[in-house]
Structure formats: structure tokens, C-alpha cells
Homo-oligomer: A and B are copies of this chain.
Amino acid sequence: MVVRRGEPFLAVDWGTTNRRVYRIEHGAVAATERDDRGVTAVAAFAAEAAAIRDRFGDLPMLLAGMVGSNIGWQVAPYVAAPAGVADLAAKLHRVDDRTAIVPGVSTLAGGRPDVMRGEEVQLLGAVAAELVPGDSLLAQPGTHCKWAEMAGGRIAGFTTAMTGELFGLLRQHGLLAAQLQGAVSANAAYLDGVEEAKRRDLTASLFGIRAAKMLGTREDADAAAFASGLLIGSDVVARIESTTHDHIHILAGPELGALYAAAIEANGRAAHIVDSHAAFAAGIIAIGTALP
């Protein structure tokens, strides 16, 4: 047993480039802190865990995210979807008596491989905290945007899109980079991009950003917002096609949340932004205390 119901413990959402530590007391977050000690910045994980206990208390510890991958501390093998709180709790990877890693979730549905590590805690926590219904579609925007279909409170299936990473690549390298340095908000140019995405012809629509400059049909100041709308819109339109949910929940901060909400609403569905930190805390408490 790692965590006893009702007793305090530490939780770490430990990603590739960042990390957030929570001290959980009486089923709620008593303290939290974010830093840039992601797994790629850490070599000695046992020493890092000891340092976390020095700062936050000498308590049992549950870790989630890339810390359980082959670039992390120890590999916690994926659990195949559908997966709920009990499934993940049953497959916690024990580092020692007081330290465990939550496994990621995998799917091969429809011959399409996909994986997540860390997002599963937020997804299950959103349901556990009743922030979203047990049957719902949740989006987790970011470098790699996750879309999870929840059924009966479990992760039934999911899809990851490289939306944020593609935007970053285009903004840093290649033909469009110089044009894409402007600000992004859910403005008219953004919504034009969302509309363009409905063609489902992304590589051609991207070249259209260049052509619009050559023909003078769009100011470069609007190009980044258009490109963001095009990429997020491409993600949304593909997901809308394969879901029956009229309401879509977004686990994100306010900025990215507003962009996804605008694209979802432009595609005729209602969007609701959910607090992703609250969801993580609820999820890690549920997994930590679900142990037999």
C-alpha cells in the first residue's frame, strides 16, 4: 500500500520539461509548486524524490507523467484502454514501499496506435471531482493535444494530435516562419483559419498563408492567428466527426482554452473550460486512495 485513505501524501505531475508537486491533506491540495525539473533535466531520480520530501514532507509519493517512461525514472508499462481509476491503481508501478508511478494508457482502436502519460490522471480526476460527466468528450490542448472519450467514468478511447508542435515548427522554421511572429487570439483571422480547416486539406491551406501574403489578401499581423485557427480547427473538425457529444470539455488554462472553445463553437458544439490543476489533484487522490 502506498497511500492510506485520508492520510497526507505527495503527488508529482512530472512531465518532459516541467514538474508540479502537490501535498495532499484531507483529500485536498494543501500546497503546490511548479518548477522546470522535468525528466529531461533530471539524472538522479532517487535524489530528486528525496529533495521533494525534504521540501514538502516525508510522506508517501505518487508520480505521474513522463517520469514513468523510458526517459524517466522507471518504466510503468501502459494499461490498455478502456481504463479507469481502479485499473490504474491496480497497476501502479512500485519504486519502493512509499513511492509509486501511475501507468500511462494506450490504445490500438481502429488500428490506430496512441499513448498518454500523465493526462490520464487529469481525465479521471475531472470525472471524480464531478467537473465533467462520466460520459463525455474531453480535450487537453498543448504541444500534443489529447482528446479522450470518457464512458462510465473510464477512458474509453483517445486520440492525440501534434497540433501545438506543428505550430511551433512552422513558427520557428521554414517558409512561413517570418510571417507567423504575430499575436494569436480568438479573433476574426483565427476564425477564418478555423473555417479554412473544414476543407480538411491542411498542407494546401498552410501554403495559402504564403499565397495570401503574395496576393495581399491578408496582413502578416493576422497570419499567426489564422495559422493557429487552421491547426486547432483541423484538430477539432476531425474529432467532431467521430463523437456524438454536443458538449465538449476542455482541460486547459484560459488562453489555450479560449482558442479551443472558439474552434469548437465554430463547429457547432458547446465548449466548457475545466480547471486542469483541480482535475489532476482529484485524479491523483482517487488513484492513490483506490488501492485495496
Contacts and interface: CB of A to CB of B under 8 A. Distances in A.
Interface of A: 78, 106, 108, 112-115, 144, 159-163, 165-166, 168-170, 172-175, 199-204, 206-208, 210-212, 214-215, 217, 231, 234-235, 238
A106 to B, nearest CB: 6
A2 to B, nearest CB: 25
A163 B203 contact: yes
A114 B211 CA distance: 5
Contacts of A168: 174
B113 A217 contact: yes
> What number of copies of this chain does the assembly contain?
2
Given A78-B215, A202-B202, A114 B173 contact: no
A105 to B, nearest CB: 11
B201 A238 contact: yes
A63 B165 CA distance: 39
28 contacts: A78-B214, A108-B215, A112-B208, A113-B215, A115-B211, A115-B214, A115-B215, A159-B201, A160-B204, A160-B207, A160-B208, A160-B211, A161-B201, A161-B207, A162-B175, A162-B203, A162-B204, A162-B206, A168-B174, A173-B173, A199-B238, A200-B238, A201-B234, A201-B238, A202-B234, A203-B238, A204-B235, A204-B238
A238 to B, nearest CB: 4
Contact of A114 (B163, B207, B235): B207
A284 B145 CA distance: 48
A207 B174 contact: no
Given A169-B174, A172-B173, A175-B162, A144 B113 contact: no
A108 to B, nearest CB: 7
A217 B108 contact: yes
Nearest to A170: B169
For the complex of A and B, list the 9 residue pairs with the smallest distance between their C-beta atoms, beginning with the closest.
Answer: A201-B238, A113-B211, A161-B203, A200-B200, A160-B207, A161-B204, A113-B212, A114-B211, A113-B215
